[in-house]
Structures are given as C-alpha cells and as structure tokens.
Structure 1
C-alpha cells in the first residue's frame, strides 16, 4: 500500500461505516436493501454527517480569514513602505516587519488554508469509496462484496448508479442501445450542480466583499472563479457516475446553504452583507456600538387619519344654505 493509500485507509473505513450504517437504517425502516433510492439516501446521510463534523473546522477557517482582513491595512502599509525597493536589506526588513505584525496580532496567512487542506483527504476518501462501490468493488472495511455488488447494480429512476452521461453518449453516437434515463438524470444533476456552485460564488462576490477587496486583484480572481468553477462541474460532471454525482450535488447544496448562513450572520466587515446585518440588528435594538451603547433605529409609525363621522345637521352647516 502506497503512502496516500495508507493515509486514506482509516478515513475510507470510517466513510464505509457511515454508508453501511445509513443503508442498514433505511433498510430497517422498510426500504428495499437493493433499491437505488436506499443507496442514494445513504449517500445523502453520509455527506450530511461528514459536513456537519467539519463545521468546527469551517468556523475556524472563517475566523482566520477575518483576522487576516483586520491586519490587511497594516500589511499594505508595510508593503507600500518598501514598494520599489529590491535590495536585499529592504527585502529582509519588509519580511521582518511582516512577521512581527503576524506575531503581534496572532495571525498566520497559512491558518486560513489549513482547514481546507485537512478536508481534502476526507473528500478523497468519500470519492474513492463511492467510486469503488459503484464498480462492485469491496472496500477496506464494512462495505463487503455483497453490499458493494448491491450498490453497483442499484438503479434510481431507471438509471444504474454506476453509469454516467458520457458512457451512454458514447453508446448513442455509436448507434448502440443506450439508457436515456441515465442521460436525463445526469444532465439534470449537472445543471443543479452548476447552478448551486454559481450561486455560492455569487453570494461571496456580490455581498461578502469589502470595498478594499473589490479594488484589489483578488476581486478579479474571484470574478474569474465565479464563472470558471461552474464550468468545471459542467464539463467534468458528465464523466462522473451517478452515485458520485449525488454526493457532489448534496455537498454543493450544503455549501450553498452554509455560505448563506455565514454571510448573513458572520459577514466580512465593511461588506454589503455586514451593512445589512447591522441594519437588522439596529431595528431589533441589538446593535452594540464601539463605545458600548445600544443603537436603535427609530421607524416612524405609519398613522392613518380616521375620518370622523359627520351628522346631517353639521353637514348642512358646513355646506351652507341652499340658494
């Protein structure tokens, strides 16, 4: 077993345990153990548990990014101070001042990337287990030959979970019999995967960036990613087996909803989302100013003047005598 296989072995064992546990749960609840819907629900349950377990890592990543944003103005001052100076002394001085700033503020540029790096082996293990199972290949743990064969032969809405859009497209273009259900289901999921990824990136670009970030080269990179990542899913998704696509779709929807909640409740300081949150808190009387005072936005109550009833005699006096 190679190094990567050794690292992924315990993760794959845990992933298989969750997958088999959910399959047993849904089977016990009355679903057919060999049905595609049972395996699809098991995949969804597996993804939800894994993503929920990664929430503390995600929160730590958000906090690290916030700290980096707070020190960004001071970091820019250091960079401007030594701008255009390429001698060895200036480079060492800039590096020394930068490290002192990180030490003084307790920040680390790599800390925001570390949680993402920790997630990668887990996602590789997920992908590996699902991909092997769809080819009726037993796993390293609880996913035995019988369960792997059941997974590999399962169908959902008439589409085998081990098939892909690309495989059926090849059969169709060669004039051989093909499964249209696979192509329709795969195409629908590719559209949903692409849309969810685009919405996730759009939330960040449109609502969760400060004016300073929008004026920096980073914003241009985010704009490129806004259109690039969905295209990656659109082109690569057609080659994924349906079972793996259910995994990607579920995790994309989780990411989209998670990003929405983060932007709403933990927005980037100075962004449009942060201003919207401050307005909501101020209306509820929960916004705390820097000096400790509570800021409340008074909204003028809408009053409608009630029309007083006028008696007949009074109405005659107001209109005057008839001529």
Structure 2
C-alpha cells in the first residue's frame, strides 16, 4: 500500500467520524436550540401559568407510612414577638406571599416565606447572550411562573404524628432581612402543639447554601421526625438529547458511584438509588445545576420521580434522612447543603475539599474519555490565567500538542518525504504489474524494505489529531468557562459557530440564509490551510483518490462551519503548523514542494510531474 493510499484511508476515517458527529450532534444541537427558542417564545406569548403552590411536589414518606401531602399541616397564629416578614424581592407572577431577598456577589433572588423554600435565583455573572445587557440567567423560578423550579426542605412524621410545616406554611422572621454572605436568615414556625420549628439559611459568596433545621420540643413526650430535602422542576427543559452530554436527574451514591437518569427514564417508574451515608443528588443542565448534599454522615434514601401538575410534568430529586429523636424539653437539628448555580470546575473542586463532598465535580459531564477531556481543560484553563484569553490558550495548547508529538510527526513527515522521492519507481512498478496486484504489492513492499520506509507513517499526522480534536470539542461543549468566551474581532463566543457568513457577504446582504449555507471566515481560513497542507503532497495516481483529495478541504470547510469557533481555530492553526513542519522536513530531505504545480494540475485536470519527470 503506497503512502497516498494510507493518507486517503486516514482522511476517510476522519471524514466518516466527523460526518457522524455532524449528523448526530452538531446539526441536531442547532435544531434543538432553535426549537427551544420557539418554545420559549410561544410560552411567553401564551402567558401559561403553573398550578398553585405545592401541587407538584411529593414529600418523601417516613419509613412504613403513607406519603404525607405538603401543606397538610394546620396553620398557627404568629408566635409572640414574631411577625411575618414584608415582601422583599420581585415576585415572578404576583403571588401574594412574603419574601426575603437574596443578594450575593453571584446571586440575586428571594426566599418565599410561604413554604420557606428557595425558589427565585438569578445568576449575576451569566447572561443569556454574550451581550452584557441581555437578561441574567434564571435558575430557580417561583410557582406561578411558566416553568417553576425550586428547592424545599422540611420534616415528615409517621401517620397521626404532630403537625409539621408544609408547602403552604407561612414562616415568620424577627425582622425584614436580606440573605447575604456572612448574614444568614432565620425562619420560625410554631405548630401550636408544643413544637417550634426553626430554619436557618446561610449562603457563601458563590452558590452554596447551608440550610439548618431545628425543632424545640415542649410537648411532654419525645417526638420522632425525618428530615428531607427536595428539588422539583415543572416541565421538561429542552436538552441536547445526545450521549455526549447528560442533562437531567443526577447523583453520586457512595460505592454505587455516579448515577445519571434521563427524564424519559422516569416516565414509567421512579428510580430509587441505594441507601447510603455519603453522596448527593439533584438535577443538572448543560451549564447549571441544583444539588442536595445531606449532612450528618448518616444514611439517607435518595429518590428520582416524575409527577404531573396540570399540563406540565414535574421532575423531582429528593432524599429522606434517618429518624431524628427530639427529647422532651430538648432541641434536635439537621443540616443540608444546597448547591444552586453555575458548574465552574474549580469551584466544584473547592466545594469537594471544603465540605468533603464526594465527587461533586461529576456535575460536569467529562464523558467517557475524561482522562483526555479533563486534562485538556485543565491545561487550557491554566494557560488562560497567563494569556487572559481562551482563544490564545487554545492556540498555545495546539503548540504544546505539536511539541509532544513532534518526534512521531517528524518521523512521519520524513518517511513521507522519502516516499515522495520514490514516486517514479512506484509508478514504474504500477505500470509493470498493473494486471498483477499481488505481485505489485510484493515488489512495493520490497522497495519500502530496501529504503527503510514505513508505508503507514503517513497516517499518523492525521490520526493523532482525532483524540485531541474530540477532547477539545467536549471541553468547548460542556465547560461553562468556554461559554461566551471571546477571541478577537468578530468571535464573541468560542463555544458557538463563527457568526459571519460568506453567503450574506458577511452581513452586507440582509438575508437569513439556511443553516446549510452558513460559512464563516474562520472555517474558510481552516479550509485554505487544509488545502495548502494537502497540496504539499503530489496528486495520487488514482482518479478517485484525486477527486476526493481535491474536494476534501471543501467538504471539511462546510462541515466545520457549524462547529464551535474555538475548534475551527484550533484546526486551522494546527494545519498551518503541520504545513510549516512538513515543509521544513521536505526541504531538509531535498524534496521539492510542488504546491504551485499541484494547484495548476488540479485546475487543469492534469497530474503534477514527479521529480523524475
């Protein structure tokens, strides 16, 4: 097998993988985003409202008893000296309920004192588009909005037990307060039968809430309660729907490890992980997540389930803790952590070590090839701290990859240069044995052996790019650090395709071109660099191979037009460095670079001359 055929096989393999990627990931991803935008617009126009408070959540039942519906507890008058807090913070749908504001460097929102739940959160550091004036990302939304999403906490008890606070309980606070780092808020509720419930909510400067629940018992007999935490989401969000990224219920459960549950998995029955003493559970999106981390180093029972609330399905992740005994005249407490925010890798790592949370970083879907993806991100993130631009970091990583594989690529290009010198002899063998393929292959292998050439060496420069390519694609696709990360000029988001388009004359023509006719500047640059690199080799003798080689840069140019701009920039820069390296090695071995001759031959439909000709 000659060198051209080896290169052809390597490129064909790469093309096949990229076509599959385009068909199963890139194209559907764009379509999913378009459908999501249309759905959001239709929902806004219809003014759809969610059902009343508490109707979608299912409180975990205590062991051996029937589930207790939220809101079943009777309401007691305010305790002496306490008053319900006045409204503080925006109410998404005009729901008449008192609120406490949340204001941190990373979050803004409010706590609904009806139910005492955290149900309104906006992420200050992230906007819907690269435009800093665009709306903030809304993570949690109160009941009454289009798609409610919130976290709630509480206690359950055996059937016939004392009244406990529920979804309709209006909690009280000593004064109007704002939850901020270093300034927790305290909520109180008296069940009127000897139990006073207290809920203290604290938050750090980022996305970690600490919810401490306590119960004071003056009933005259011990009371047994079970703590719980729940995250509930109304409606199924638009997801990418591909194996490359998990979105939906998720958790880590001790030795059982990571559990990823698709929304569709809950259509028929709930998913019940094993009972463990170490772990967490919640719901994740592409860039954001909400996760409950039960405290106390005691076993808890997790659960994922689907429900229905009017026209919207509800999806729930909850846990039920071990029994807590409240002695007569005593106080018992329970602590739960709530992560609600952006999945920043370093921040998740910090939370893991600070709170001893098991594998919280797995909220980021590093994929099956995490041993490549995660180091790739870490190197890019490290370089970003020095260069101040993720685009420059990608260019620097490309150079590092080139350095790592330099000996292998150098040997490969040297072998290709030697084979180029042998083209006249190879063509003579092809003409001599054109009717006897086995004999021709035997003679060619003998020729390679005499000249100490590895005919497969030409595949390596292309094959070694594939794992790097996919690792970088995964990093650009799943890490929030790359979201809306600018490069220079017109590239405002390295994780999105190049926004320019040749078919609108780069914005001069007011035409909404279809997706298939989107071709930005960077994909064109990539195509040119790929064309130059391929033209540095002589045209293959086979007509079919010639046609494929001639059209390969064009095909790749249109394919990569819908890929993240950061990936296209990497490919273009890699092509340039490869062409430069190959040119230097060819000159070292005295091989003529027939770029111009090959170009003329391609245009004229003639094969370029070999060195002997």
Cα deviation, 1:62-81, whole Å, max 9, x if unaligned, reads 22223434555555555555
The 5-angstrom pairing of residues 73-88 of structure 1 reads: 73-76=424-427, 78-85=429-436
Corresponding residue for 1:152?
483
1:194 aligns with 2:545: no
In 2, the alpha carbon distance for the partners of 1:44 and 1:15 equals 13
1:128 aligns with 2:474: yes
CA deviation after TM superposition for structure 1 residue 252, in Å: 3.0
Corresponding residue for 1:175?
none
CA deviation after TM superposition for structure 1 residue 21, in Å: 1.4
Higher deviation after alignment, 95-104 or 228-237: 95-104
The 5-angstrom pairing of residues 213-292 of structure 1 reads: 217=541, 221-222=545-546, 225-226=549-550, 228-268=551-591
The 5-angstrom pairing of residues 56-71 of structure 1 reads: 56-71=407-422
Indicate if the aligned counterparts of 2:380 and 2:394 stay in contact, CA closer than 8 A: yes
Cα deviation, 1:221-249, whole Å, max 9, x if unaligned, reads 457634x2332243123311222233223
Distance 1:118 1:79, change over 3 A: same
In 2, the alpha carbon distance for the partners of 1:95 and 1:263 equals 26
1:52 aligns with 2:375: no
In 1, the alpha carbon distance for the partners of 2:370 and 2:445 equals 38
SS at match of 1:162: coil
In 1, the alpha carbon distance for the partners of 2:416 and 2:375 equals 30
SS at match of 1:123: helix
Cα deviation, 1:248-297, whole Å, max 9, x if unaligned, reads 2322332343344344444526x669xxxxxxxxxxxxxxxxxxxxxxxx
Distance 1:150 1:238, change over 3 A: same
In 2, the alpha carbon distance for the partners of 1:229 and 1:95 equals 27
In 2, the alpha carbon distance for the partners of 1:96 and 1:260 equals 31
In 2, the alpha carbon distance for the partners of 1:168 and 1:80 equals 47
* Structure ranking higher in strand proportion: 2
SS at match of 1:18: helix
Match of 2:449 among 103, 116, 128: 103
Name the TM-score, length of structure 1 as normaliser: 0.52
Corresponding residue for 1:301?
none
Residue-pair matches, total: 216
In 2, the alpha carbon distance for the partners of 1:95 and 1:264 equals 29
Cα deviation, 1:116-144, whole Å, max 9, x if unaligned, reads 334432333233322x2xxxx3xxxxxxx
Corresponding residue for 2:193?
none
In 2, the alpha carbon distance for the partners of 1:268 and 1:60 equals 15
In 2, the alpha carbon distance for the partners of 1:195 and 1:95 equals 34
In 1, the alpha carbon distance for the partners of 2:473 and 2:403 equals 17
Consecutive unaligned residues of structure 1, counting only runs of 5 or more, are: 32-37, 138-147, 170-185, 274-323
In 2, the alpha carbon distance for the partners of 1:219 and 1:257 equals 28
Distance 1:19 1:66, change over 3 A: same
Match of 1:162 among 462, 471, 495: 495
In 2, the alpha carbon distance for the partners of 1:162 and 1:150 equals 10
Cα deviation, 1:119-171, whole Å, max 9, x if unaligned, reads 432333233322x2xxxx3xxxxxxxxxx3232133445723333257999xx
In 2, the alpha carbon distance for the partners of 1:194 and 1:77 equals 34
In 2, the alpha carbon distance for the partners of 1:105 and 1:263 equals 17
In 1, the alpha carbon distance for the partners of 2:468 and 2:591 equals 28
* Structure ranking higher in helix proportion: 1
Indicate if the aligned counterparts of 1:166 and 1:239 stay in contact, CA closer than 8 A: no
Indicate if the aligned counterparts of 1:60 and 1:115 stay in contact, CA closer than 8 A: no
In 2, the alpha carbon distance for the partners of 1:66 and 1:232 equals 26
SS at match of 1:113: helix
Aligned-CA RMSD value: 4.1
In 2, the alpha carbon distance for the partners of 1:15 and 1:163 equals 19
Higher relative contact order, chain-length normalized (CA < 8 Å, sep 6+): 1
Corresponding residue for 1:17?
378
SS at match of 1:160: coil
In 2, the alpha carbon distance for the partners of 1:248 and 1:119 equals 9
Indicate if the aligned counterparts of 1:162 and 1:242 stay in contact, CA closer than 8 A: yes
